[in-house]
Every structure is written in structure tokens, then in C-alpha cells.
Chains A and B, each alone.
Chain A
Amino acid sequence: MNPLIWIIPVLPLLSFVLLLLFGRRLKEASAHVGALLTLGSLVLSIVVLLNQWGGEPVKETLSWLTFGETTLSAGYLVNPLNALMLVIVSLVSFLVQVYSGGYMHDDDRFPIFFAYLGLFTFAMLGLVLSPNLLQLYVFWELVGVGSFLLIGYYFYKREARSAAKKAFIMTRIGDVGLFIGMILLFWQVGSFEFDEIFAAVEAGEISEGWITLTAILIFVGAIGKSGQFPLHTWLPDAMEGPTPVSALIHAATMVAAGVYLVAAMFPLFQASEAALTTVAVVGGFTAIFAATIGLAQADIKRVLAYSTVSQLGYMMLALGSSGYVAGVFHLTTHAFFKALLFLAAGSVIHAVHTQNIHEMGGLWKKMKWTAPLFLIGAMAISGVPGLSGFFSKDEILAATYADGRFGLFWIAVIAAFLTAFYMFRLFFLVFTGESRGIQEKVKESPVSMTFPMIVLGILALIGGLINTPFATYLSDFLAQNEALEIHHHETRWWIPVVATGVSLLGILMAWLVYVKKKVTRFSESAPDLHYILLNKYFIDETYDYSFVKGTRALSYFWYYIDRFVVEGLVGLVTGIVGWFSKIGSRFQNGQVQLYSSVAFAGMAILLLVVAWIGGYLT
């Protein structure tokens, strides 16, 4: 056992326990405890990543439970993919904890917030290190619990409560798929271990149909966690949580867990063309679907939330198009720039106390750090050449094209245009022009908040350099994993040009509409369309009228069944048991002769029964 590795998730767990026990006494020093312990995880994660560079995958397990021939084990697995994830998770978690030290200042339940962050980080790191599906599932659920607590942190707000509940239930729907897929795989392979499953797939021990079925069921789990259509509706609502939480959970970690799951199970998906197509189509559709909704939202965090859904769709599209490297690469760069955007948005909200972008404006001069950092994030996500998002998005487009999915390719291009447009709509409305309604004096946020943003800003700027067409570090690193067949596809020269073109076009459009006001806003030119987008295609309403109301009606029915039929039966059963119990204790009358008679009678009956069953009486 290498203590270097297993201690990575233990440190945040320690933070959780310590803050739960001593949080009241530590007060705002809790932030230091949490951040320092997570920093420890970050340092260790970086060491692990460096060891992985050119090193061998490490897997160590202890047998946990044995019954019959099967052994369930617990342990950890480090390969290039999860070494990278370890660094992303611990880095973003560390920065978010530093940031929260400033953002959550004066909150009544300050230590509890950091305790929850510790629990969540522990769960996420544990998930990443899991060497088998069962352990992954345990941590997967624990991540769900962590996010439930964090989204519902402002539990006194009704919206926060219902958002937390919604997030939990919607992701649970996906989890059922994952669970069934996991059990079916276990049934087919006889093991939960990743390597054994992949070996069985490779050896052709599982039929094509089973592979497709289990892969799609596992993907259903990923759909829930990563907010893909049609289970995406929880993610925008989850913005009711504190903004740092949005940066941690809804940019870099929990939502990425779904993408990670598909990437970690990639050899299974690769074995089934149908499963890959499902992933690609769901991803591509989500990418453009969420991007269009992002065009019309007025809440700064909701725009970012839909943008996250759309970007996660991109990652799924990449994975579904066999673009393993592209998907993981975009996961990495997205973690940087989206966390940056959320933190910057938090900084704005912290300063102006509103989330409505139509009430903001003219903040460029007042927020000397936040504004340029937000611009960097917006440029990165829009795919402005040279920034991180440009390279990863380019890689995805290339992978999709190389895989022959031309329809999805053009959808992705249009989504890229929309992304650039709505991001700069956001930027121009918030930072340029004149203030529209903010009276109070706007102050830049404290260093504890700007510092994490600067770190992320640098990463968003240069993060793309880890995998450019000229130097494929990440690709080579990930290719160390021998279970994968990584396709190298030639980037066609015109793909980056098209990508750059649509991105700049989007920015230009946004400039014309919102700064120059040369083009009428489409809320005026196409009010009906705008209305539909503003209401998110009425998906929530549809769900409300179909599933929620339907379930409620059904639940009334079952309530009465339960009330009168089931409870009646239960009453009957408990009555009978109680009656037997009464008879039994009456029978025990304290007389020795009775006890012995019972023994003799019992023996006589048993002898008779045995003789009868054994056929000795004939």
C-alpha cells in the first residue's frame, strides 16, 4: 500500500470530521483547516501525476468480502486518467475553499459549509480512485449526498430546498440505470473490477447485445450526473447553492463524474458501435439544445449553468465519436475556465448583490481584476485561438469529423457559434455600457477571492498547451493506458479555421447587438422564439405536468391502497404474530414436566416425520 495515494482522499475526510467536531470553536479558521488539508491532497495528487508520467498504472486491493467463489475487493487504482482527475478535483476544490473563505464571510454556518466541502471532495476523490464499479458506485452516491447538502445549504430558502431535492432525485433516476448496468455486468463477468470487465470484453466473453445494453445503462447514470438531456433540468436549478459550490460541483467535479465514468469504462463502450452512437447523439443534441436556452436567460449563473450542460454535451459527443483524448482534454480545460467563470460571476454577485444581468452593466472599470478574468474565461470557452478552450474544442470537432459523424459535426459548429454569442452577450451586458440599476458603490472582491481566480485565469489561458497539434503531451500520456485503443486523427486544416470563424462571428454578433445596438435584439425581432427559450423549451413544465403530477396522482391511488389494503394486511400479520407470541409465552408456564413433555412430543413427531419422509413406514 502506497500511503501517498490512499491518503489523498483521507485528508478531506479528516477535514470533514475535524470541522464537524470542532467547527464551532474554530469559527472562521475552519476555512484554513479545510483549505490546508485539501492543499495536502493537491500536492500529493501532483506527485502521483508526475509518477504516472511514463510510469506504470498502480492498482492495489484488499479483499473485502468473500462468498463462495466471488471476492469483492476494495482498494485504489491509479492510471493516467484518474491521476489527471485527482489533480483537477483537488486543485479546484482547494481554490474553491480559498475563495469561499472570502465569499462566505459572516455566514452563520461557516464551519459547516467547509465540512460539507470536505465531505464532497472526499467522495469525489474516492470515486476517481475506485478500482471497481461497486466502490465507484458507493462514492458516486456519496458525491450525490455531498451535492445535496451543498445545494441545499441555504435550506431556509424554499428554492434551495426544492433545488437540492430535485438534484438528488433527478440524478437518482440516472443512478438506477447505472446500478442495473453494474449488476448486469457483474452477472455476466462475475466481477466488478474494471480490468476484469475489460478483459472479458476483449476476450469476447460477453455477447454484443449485452455489451450494448450494459454500456447504455451505465451511460444513463452518466446522463443523470452530467446533466445530459433529458435529465438536465436539475443542473440550472442547482444554482440556488452558494456560488463557490457551483464552481466546484457544476463545473469541475460532480458533473464531470459522468464524463469520467464513460471515459473510465471506455473499453466497454468501444466494443459497441451502438453504445458509442447513443453517447454521441445524446451529447451532440445536449450541446446545441442547452446552448440555445443559454441565449435567453437573464440570471448570470443560469447562463453559465446551461453553458455547462452544453459543454458537457460536447465532451460526451467527443467520447461517443471515439475521441477519448478530446473528451478528457475538454474536461480538463473546461474545469479551468468554467470554474473561473463561476468564481468571477460569484465575485460580481458578491459586489452587486443581484444575479439579473439586465440590472448590471458598466462593471469593467469598477472591478479591475474580476472583469479581465471573466473576459479570459469567456474567450476560452468561446474558442478564441490560443486559449485553452480553442484547442480542446478543435480536438472534439476533429474527432467528430474523423469519425464520420458529419451531421453532429455541423451541430457542434453551430453550438460553438451560439456559445460565443451567449458568453459575450453575458460579458457585454455585465461589464460594458452604463450601470442599469445598481445604486450602491461597487467594490472589488478581497484577495482571497481574486487569487483563486487568477490561478484559474492563468490555467484557462495556457491550459490548452498540454495538447496542441504540435505537442501532444496529454494524448501520449493517456495513451499509456494499454486497455484503450486511442485513435489519432489528422486535424484537417480547415477545421480550426471554421472553429475560429464561428467563434469570432459569435463575438461580433454579440457586440453588434448588445454594444453597438445595430441589430435588434431577438427578444424583439422574434418574441415567440425568445419566449420559448426563456422558458427552457418548457421542459420543466412538461415534467411537472407529466411525471410530477402523474406521480402525484398515482401516489394518491397507492396511498389509499396502502392505507386500507396494505395496512389491513400488516395489521393482520402483526396480529397473528402477536397472538402466537401470546400463546407461546402462556405455554411457557414454568413447569418442568411440561418442558420435558414438549421435548418428548417433539422428538416423537420428528421421528414420525422422518420415518414418513424417508419412506421407512411402508
Chain B
Amino acid sequence: MTAAIDIQHLHKSFGRVRALDGLDLRVDAGTVHGFLGPNGAGKSTTIRILLGLLRADAGQVRLLGGDPWADAVALHRRLAYVPGDVELWPNLTGGEAIDLFARLRGGTDPVRRDELCQRFDLDPSKKGRTYSKGNRQKVALIAALASDVELLLLDEPTAGLDPLMEAVFQECIREVKDAGRTVLLSSHILAQVEVLADQISIIRQGRIVETGSLTELRHLTRTSVEAVTDRPADGLANLAGVHGLRTDGDQVRFEVDGDQLAVVVRELGDLGVQGLTVRPPTLEQLLLRHYGDRLVRNGTAEVA
């Protein structure tokens, strides 16, 4: 598979602040790639380097086979971008802004534009300054989704959208994927990435700390198990890979490492299991695994 985005050892500093510190990222063509990380981890900086708005200090960046700084204009014809915080021109209507973006990019499908306006429930005749944050976001999303491009760069694209619109957005991204296009979806809405992404990269402090498919990443973390058993299940605590076991009458709760799950389930069967709930790790847990250490050290229980 060819890579739509291939970044190696990317460094970028702003003054003394190191925003990217040896970032590696590969996004295969035709996939939806989730780009996860807390605020300030370097997601937007990476995307803005991919757009040629910022110049890399060091490292290799290839975008659709080109150099994002030198070939910016040619590459921009083949991609569309949605920033996380969309600002519009106060005296242009939303419809004018959508048309303008499309024309500056080099053409759009007017039927698809109107259809998207309807699906996202956007009134394109309102002036930019009268739109709420969510509506400004819709303007940028419609402009991007209506364009016939190979790659979508979406930087937290649904911040400010209500759940209904979020569902419309997910539907649209699936259509984009079915059409064989590539999507880089930066987000900290984990449920969204979980549903949409084929591959996920987790960025922290300017580096990718984890990358792979959701299934691959699940091996790296623990599954939560709740069970009701006939016989006391305290003995499970001695099995390899079982953590934090607590019993409450005939109920038992614990977490188990992904690769030890089969052994534990067999054991539960022997104990006469009556009820069983097994939850795969959520992305919150994946993230907590990487940022949790810091939270614990700081003695706070806050979860981003």
C-alpha cells in the first residue's frame, strides 16, 4: 500500500518550546487514520506542517508523494483541510465562503454542496459573523467534503457540533472512505476515532507513542471483566496477567492483559460462571495508559 502521508523524525520548535520531537507518522492511502492526543501534544503543528504553513526544522515529510513546503500549491489541489477553530469573514455569507473555498481549490460538485448543506442543516445565506462556532465548523466541513480530493486533513473537525451532526459527520466520513479517499482525523473525541479509524496513532509531547489498528492496540492494554460465579473466584488473582481483583459476594471484577484472556475465561468456566461481562478497553483507557503515569505522579485524578 502506498503512503498518503509519510513523516520521519520530524522536529519543530517555536522559540524554546519543542512542539514536535522526532515524530514519525505513516498514513496508508485509502484509510482513515485517527490522530489522537491531548491538547498541546503537537497534532495541529503536524497538520500545519503538512499544509506547508509551517516549515519543518528537521526530518522527512512526504505528502501524496510531494514536499508539503515546496509543492504546497500543487498538493493543495489534491487535499482539503478543516481547522479545529474555523474563522469566517464577517461580511461573507456561509454559502459564499463554501463556494470560495471550492473555487480556490479548483472546482466542486454543486449538487453535492447543496446536499451537504441540507444534511448538515446549514443556512448558507447567513453572514459569517452571525454563525455560532458549530455552524462555522459546518461551513468548513461542507467545503471540504464537497470537494473531489484524495486526502482530507481534519483537525478536530467536530468540536462544537451537536450529537446529531456528529452522526452525519461519521456517515460522511464512511462515504469518503468507501470512495477510496484518505482521511487524517485528529481528535480527542475518542468514540469518534474508535468508530471511524482503521489505524490510530497516539501522539504525546511531540512524539508518536503508539501506532496500529485498534485491534493491535487492544493487545497492549487490559480488558475489564465482571463475572458472577458459583464458587469463590479469589484464586484468579494468582493467574498471570490478572490485575486489581475485587470480590463482592459471588461477584468478581478484575482486569486482565489481552494475551492472557483465553486462560482466564477457561478458569472462569471451571468456577461455574453464571454471568459474564467483558469490556474491550476504550480509547480513554489506551490514552490513560500513556498519560496515566503522569496523572498518578501528580497525584491528581483528572482525566483529559
A pairs with B: no
